[in-house]
Amino acid sequence: MADHLVSFDTAPEPVRVPTGTLLSEAAKLAGVEITQPCGGQGRCGRCAVQIVSGTVRRRSTLRLSQGDVEAGFALACQTVVEGDVQVLVPPQEKIERRLTTDRTAGEVSVPLGYDYRHDQTIRRTWLTLKPPTLDDQTDDWSRLVTALRQKAHVKNLSITLEQLQMIGDILRADDWRVTAIYETEPGNDPTAPARLIELLPGHIDHDTPFMGLAIDIGTTTVTVWLVDLISGEVKAQLAEYNGQISRGEDVISRIIYASKNGGMDEMRVLIVETINRLIDTACRRAQVEKTSIIKVTIAGNSTMMHLLLGIPAMNIRLSPFVTTVNTLPNIPARELVLDVHPEATVDCLPGVASYVGADITSGVYSSGMNATDKLTLFLDIGTNGEIVLGSRDWLVSVACSAGPAFEGAGVIYGMRATVGAIEELWINDITYEPTYRVIGGVRPRGICGSGLISLLAEMFMTGVLDKGGHLNTSLGNPRIREGEHGMEYVIAWADQSYHGRDISITHVDIDNLLRAKAAIYAGFTVMADRVGVPLEAVEQVLIGGSFGKYINVEKAVQIGLLPDMEWERFQFLGNTAIRGAYHALLDREARERIHDIARRMTYIELSADNTFYEAFTSALFLPHTDMHRFPSVQADFEGRAALKVED
Amino acid sequence: MADHLVSFDTAPEPVRVPTGTLLSEAAKLAGVEITQPCGGQGRCGRCAVQIVSGTVRRRSTLRLSQGDVEAGFALACQTVVEGDVQVLVPPQEKIERRLTTDRTAGEVSVPLGYDYRHDQTIRRTWLTLKPPTLDDQTDDWSRLVTALRQKAHVKNLSITLEQLQMIGDILRADDWRVTAIYETEPGNDPTAPARLIELLPGHIDHDTPFMGLAIDIGTTTVTVWLVDLISGEVKAQLAEYNGQISRGEDVISRIIYASKNGGMDEMRVLIVETINRLIDTACRRAQVEKTSIIKVTIAGNSTMMHLLLGIPAMNIRLSPFVTTVNTLPNIPARELVLDVHPEATVDCLPGVASYVGADITSGVYSSGMNATDKLTLFLDIGTNGEIVLGSRDWLVSVACSAGPAFEGAGVIYGMRATVGAIEELWINDITYEPTYRVIGGVRPRGICGSGLISLLAEMFMTGVLDKGGHLNTSLGNPRIREGEHGMEYVIAWADQSYHGRDISITHVDIDNLLRAKAAIYAGFTVMADRVGVPLEAVEQVLIGGSFGKYINVEKAVQIGLLPDMEWERFQFLGNTAIRGAYHALLDREARERIHDIARRMTYIELSADNTFYEAFTSALFLPHTDMHRFPSVQADFEGRAALKVED
């Protein structure tokens, strides 16, 4: 194998490496630091470098746009040397900026609905203690307790042994002036215990960062918000794939994996690593120390919560489907090995049942449905579909295993809503030619959730698909063909795609999508039926979940995912779980309400009888076996058919 | 099986029962109430009845003496009918009285004052949970909490993450039958939190050991009592030198050692090792597992407590002499690395000041002075001398650095009160020849605290020592000689000693003893003066501490260690600290009273002005510069002198 010279602009000398060496390896030899938060898997895009001259081979260009590649960018961890190469290492911030400039850029701020005057559980206060004398030999700890009671009316303060070992020195380090960080217990009892988190010598500057972290652990995506506890401002918002995804795409496969020997530890490490990577990035972006994070609130489904805490989850999967715990005690961050202040409180929000977790209780809170008089249907469509019906007076919930199809999994060209994803699509009634809109305006790489709904709706409305979800081969259109994986419809030909391959949707993909939408539709119809409320009585439909913000209602109704009602009744809320966690982080009252929601929400187990299965089977059609449930779709469909006939 | 007639004196009619029926069962049939506080386990002895005639078989006679059995006594719960039987049911009070008479000389028994009905914080209870179904999907933890609330009215149960990780499996291991071990918080609040210590699968046998440990950490000696939490019985009593002793004999030298680099860790390890050795021996002796110890209470002076917990103690030594903490939170045993159940609660009892620690508060409690109307002087003479004056209404305390002379340290042939120690000694007025009593009746190896007091008193009363503590060389007696360490008095010649060396007391030893006794005498006189109470008003003098049980009052008065008053006012209580810890272990109310003592006891700092120093200097004489304070000693001394002159 021939040797090649690789020179980096940030290294004094080139290094000599054989053909096939990774650029990241060459960089290491040259003493050049290249960040690889994803561990060199080509996932995060943070190791992007620019090839000035020379020959390389890119194994993967995930996270790079076509323009990037044309400009010479390459992922150091995915690119091998095939000749002498000159490499430019761009400053890290530049990469960060490029990666995070997505459509949610505007959200880094104090979110809507935040009230500065809210009562937080975490406090930071200056204290000046009276020094001891021979006439006042009060012990250090009592002296501190008294000072905190006088200054801030704190009662029943508790302290760890480790802190007790230090307070003597800390109190004396700046002549009995200290800054106390403590947490008062949630709830309204003024005598409730408070817990000392940290005692610092001196009166620290008011500007010293004082942060909290809200986390939503989704089965597919983990989202964090880094929050200034004083202003309520969100200093960084980040999301990343859940590191467990490589061990199974849905909760069931994760539970199975975790119940194998060593699987639980592995799952726990994977999610903790994901969260710690997000913390690292968020803190670098906000330029704060990780130990400035004093409180963490976590929303997530019950399985994710169990796996994070190392609590066996197999009974979630086995009938009668019970969790080990729905309402968790507060846990110090050190016990979870989270990269924040070791004494930070980790507040895992409460769930209701095995398949209605803290993501739903906090989602319901942030949606406001628990406080409204309007009869509300709340849908959280993620990897699982959870549905809540009710209002201020009552709340019932169901869960249906929708599968991750709308998150892009189980669909060959499915992907998340990032650059290169087809997010909206139209099919010509006559030619069956599609037109589409791609995120980032680049060539398409795949199709995301909203795109899949558009696609399914357009295929059905134009007759590419029949009511049963079968591709209409009789149309004689070249886009409907027998492909590698059976019958398929080609959305983009190879020469129009980013990767030079045809982008298509197969009959298996379509089946997966139909099952997902049928599960959700069956879920809320069976639920409404059980409660004895007609679906038409629903005054508003609030939709949360990772793709909820972007889908087209008309098309979601056309495929029978959403009920057929006036569009004004629908409202898309995006990630409601992280918003709930954010409010619980900052507001004692919000947290209490989320607990109240968890306490009073009734869970209906759909597997308990077979009405759900019947409803599911009926909903496997487009939009449904019973077309009368979708009058607007029927009218539209018949109108189009009439037009075609006229043609 | 044959039937037999059983008649009870307190029942109108006999009952007919088959062979093998328990007397307790027969009593129930006959409508006779027999108390069985231990649940019929043959432990408490309270169901004792007297067999007047007939044949019975005693399965167990625990709690009955040989005499009891000969008198026909039998435990109703452990005795079966084997013929027609006539039974006498004694009044309950009679049994109570018999049980509390401390019949076992070795002290391994239920100590005097123990009340079986006391409310413990630690509980062990069987639970049978309703298994989950599709109609009742309550999570495991809530199911457990509910069961414990229904069975035992436990509210606000808390659990560690580690336990949460296991309860799912434990609950299912024996079909939802479990045994819960938990601790309710001290205090009287019924809604106070409880803490789960362990959950065991199945309903474990009632005989499974369920133990507690009371510890007194003295500067010189560490004492442990291994206690059966159900019967209150002390299963093993052990004491050992504090392992820290090699790093300094008094608290001051320990503090100095601990403040050196690495010294704190070393001190902590040494005391933990000492305790763990004692636990190991105690458990082997009682034949129980170490993990059966579920609760630990610790008494000890403030320095010992700080060093055990790794809390820097240097401010105890430096003016204004403050501790870091007097009232400690409960700590799980795993944090202290004690060899007991890792989740066992370690309850460090509260102290008052740097030199009045938990050994004194628990000592005062077990002495009963906090509950009496009599004006009481409480002395704890260990390595330090702590003195409390007061009664039910008020309590003041002082500490004086007596030094460990009376514990055998700082005296060349000083030793603890074990085999080979001279414990009592007389000197002939004419020949100055000593006679002595040795513990174990062997040849002497050294001299213990009570022996030293005797020695000093006899030397003074016979004129071997003068008022100033100087050896009288003019006597021309060969026992008074210039030795290796200066002037000395030979107590035992080499050929009479255990080790073949002369046993003597040197002038340095005498100085140390005088300083120790002077510190104590000055302590209580200054204290009485400050409070404005004449010493004569003291109605009882209660003496605790490691040697307190064995000293001779007359001789202690002769050297001016104790005030000159009627001997009936003195009472020796032995180790009061360990008794207090024992009661706190078993009785929520006792613990609360110890905390109450700590809260209301006033501490007077003797170093704050110089009256103490003056009193100390005056007390350095035998018995005192002011002989009028010791009229009985003066009379005796003058009487002896007159006799001598007559000779």
- 3-state per-residue secondary structure call for B173-223: HCCCEEEEEEEECCCCCCCCCEEEEEEEECCCCCCCCCEEEEEEECCCEEE
* CA B448 – CA B438 distance, rounded (Å): 10
Q: Which of B144, B319, B322, B346 best probes binding to A when mutated, by most A CB atoms within 10 angstroms?
A: B322
Q: Which residue of B has its CA nearest to A323?
A: B139
DSSP state of B350: P
| C-alpha closest to that of A572 among A598, A534, A539, A540 | A540
Of these ranges, A125-134, A424-433, B97-106, B538-547, the one predicted with the greatest mean pLDDT is A125-134
Q: Does B139 touch chain A (CB under 8 A)?
A: yes
CB contact under 8 A, B331 and A139: no
What pLDDT score does B229 carry?
Answer: 92
What pLDDT score does B131 carry?
Answer: 96
CB contact under 8 A, A312 and B137: no
Q: Which amino acid is at B61?
A: T
Average pLDDT for residues B224-250, to the nearest whole number? 90
Identify the band that residue B216 occupies on the pLDDT scale cut at 50, 70 and 90: very high
Average pLDDT for residues A582-607, to the nearest whole number? 93
What's the half-sphere exposure (Cβ side, CA atoms, 13 Å) at B558?
23
Please give the angle made by the CA atoms of A444, A65 and A450, to the nearest 5 degrees. Answer: 40
Decide if pLDDT at A526 tops 50. Answer: yes
Decide if pLDDT at A222 tops 70. Answer: yes
| A144-148, A178-182, A517-521, B48-52: least confidently modelled range | B48-52
CB contact under 8 A, A326 and B139: yes
- The full DSSP string for B122-155 is EEEEEEEPPPPBTTB---HHHHHHHHHHHHH---
Of these ranges, A43-47, A182-186, A458-462, the one predicted with the greatest mean pLDDT is A458-462
Check: CB of residue A547 under 8 Å from CB of residue A450: yes
What pLDDT score does B109 carry?
Answer: 58
Average pLDDT for residues A370-391, to the nearest whole number? 91
Decide if pLDDT at A144 tops 90. Answer: yes
What pLDDT score does A214 carry?
Answer: 98
| C-alpha closest to that of B233 among B588, B592, B585, B572 | B585
Decide if pLDDT at B574 tops 90. Answer: no
Q: Which amino acid is at B359?
A: D
Residue indicated by tokens 């500065």? A116
* CA B268 – CA B247 distance, rounded (Å): 12
Decide if pLDDT at A518 tops 60. Answer: yes
Q: Report chain A's mean pLDDT, rounded to a whole number.
A: 88
CB contact under 8 A, A137 and B310: no
What pLDDT score does B647 carry?
Answer: 53
- Residues 6 or more apart in contact with residue B12 via CB below 8 angstroms: none
| C-alpha closest to that of B516 among B479, B545, B491 | B545
**In chain A, what residues touch B325 (CB-CB under 8 Å)?**
139-142, 164
Question: Which of A 363-402 lie inside 8 A of B, CB atoms?
Answer: none
* CA A118 – CA B451 distance, rounded (Å): 71
Q: Does B135 touch chain A (CB under 8 A)?
A: yes
Check: CB of residue B350 under 8 Å from CB of residue B594: yes
Question: Which of A 304-343 lie inside 8 A of B, CB atoms?
Answer: 309-312, 315, 319-329, 331, 335
CB contact under 8 A, B140 and A324: yes
CB contact under 8 A, B320 and A158: no
pLDDT digits (tens, 9 = 90+) for A306-334: 999 999 999 999 999 999 999 999 999 99
Q: Among partner residues B136, B168, B312, which is closest to A324 by beta-carbon distance?
A: B168
| A428-432, A443-447, A457-461, B544-548: least confidently modelled range | B544-548
Check: CB of residue B454 under 8 Å from CB of residue B407: no
Backbone φ, ψ for residue B336 (5° rounding): -95, 0
CB contact under 8 A, A134 and B310: no
Count Cβ neighbours within 10 Å for each residue of B120-148 and write b for 16 or more, e otherwise: bbbbbeebebeebeeeebbbbbebbbebb
**How many CB pairs below 8 Å do chains A and B form together?**
119
What pLDDT score does B638 carry?
Answer: 84
**In chain B, what residues touch A318 (CB-CB under 8 Å)?**
none
Please give the distance of CA B1 from its chain centroid, rounded to a whole number. 52
Decide if pLDDT at A344 tops 50. Answer: yes
What pLDDT score does A177 carry?
Answer: 97
What pLDDT score does A417 carry?
Answer: 78
Q: Which of B129, B133, B134, B196 best probes binding to A when mutated, by most A CB atoms within 10 angstroms?
A: B134
B108: left (phi over 0), alpha (psi -120 to 50) or beta: beta
Count Cβ neighbours within 10 Å for each residue of A141-173 and write b for 16 or more, e otherwise: bebbbebbeeebebeebebbbebbbbbbebbbe
pLDDT digits (tens, 9 = 90+) for A255-294: 999 999 999 999 999 999 999 999 999 999 999 999 999 9
What sign has the CA pseudo-torsion A30, A88, A282, A285?
A: positive
What pLDDT score does B28 carry?
Answer: 82
Average pLDDT for residues B84-97, to the nearest whole number? 69
What pLDDT score does A564 carry?
Answer: 94
CB contact under 8 A, B320 and A353: no
* CA A75 – CA A60 distance, rounded (Å): 7
* CA B137 – CA B123 distance, rounded (Å): 28
**In chain A, what residues touch B141 (CB-CB under 8 Å)?**
324-327
Decide if pLDDT at A95 tops 60. Answer: no
What pLDDT score does A213 carry?
Answer: 98
What pLDDT score does B642 carry?
Answer: 77
What pLDDT score does A285 carry?
Answer: 93
Q: Which of B323, B327, B336 best probes binding to A when mutated, by most A CB atoms within 10 angstroms?
A: B323
- State how far residue B185 is from chain A, nearest Cα, in angstroms: 13
**In chain A, what residues touch B132 (CB-CB under 8 Å)?**
320, 322
Q: Which residue of B has its CA nearest to A168?
A: B324
Average pLDDT for residues B593-612, to the nearest whole number? 91
| A183-192, A539-548, B78-87: least confidently modelled range | A183-192
What pLDDT score does B65 carry?
Answer: 72
* CA A620 – CA A519 distance, rounded (Å): 8
Decide if pLDDT at B440 tops 90. Answer: no
* CA A262 – CA A276 distance, rounded (Å): 21
Helix (H, G, I), strand (E, B) or coil at B307: helix
Q: Which residue of B has its CA nearest to A191?
A: B192
DSSP state of A152: H
What pLDDT score does A68 carry?
Answer: 79
Decide if pLDDT at B107 tops 90. Answer: no
Q: Which residue of A has its CA nearest to B131?
A: A320
Decide if pLDDT at B548 tops 60. Answer: no
User: Percent of chain B at pLDDT above 70?
Assistant: 91
Higher-confidence residue of A33 and B495: namely B495
Q: Which of B129, B161, B346 best probes binding to A when mutated, by most A CB atoms within 10 angstroms?
A: B161
Check: CB of residue B271 under 8 Å from CB of residue B308: yes
Average pLDDT for residues A539-545, to the nearest whole number? 90
**In chain B, what residues touch A159 (CB-CB under 8 Å)?**
329
Q: Among partner residues B133, B327, B335, which is closest to A320 by beta-carbon distance?
A: B133
What pLDDT score does B197 carry?
Answer: 95
Decide if pLDDT at A102 tops 70. Answer: no
Helix (H, G, I), strand (E, B) or coil at B99: helix
Decide if pLDDT at B427 tops 70. Answer: yes
Average pLDDT for residues B468-485, to the nearest whole number? 93
- State how far residue B263 is from chain A, nearest Cα, in angstroms: 14
Decide if pLDDT at A30 tops 90. Answer: no
**In chain A, what residues touch B169 (CB-CB under 8 Å)?**
312
CB contact under 8 A, A137 and B321: yes
Q: Among partner residues B161, B315, B328, which is closest to A335 by beta-carbon distance?
A: B161
Please give the distance of CA B543 from its chain centroid, rounded to a whole number. 13
DSSP state of A572: E
Q: Which residue of A has its CA nearest to B315?
A: A168
Higher-confidence residue of B141 and A24: namely B141
Average pLDDT for residues B16-26, to the nearest whole number? 90
Higher-confidence residue of B538 and A75: namely B538
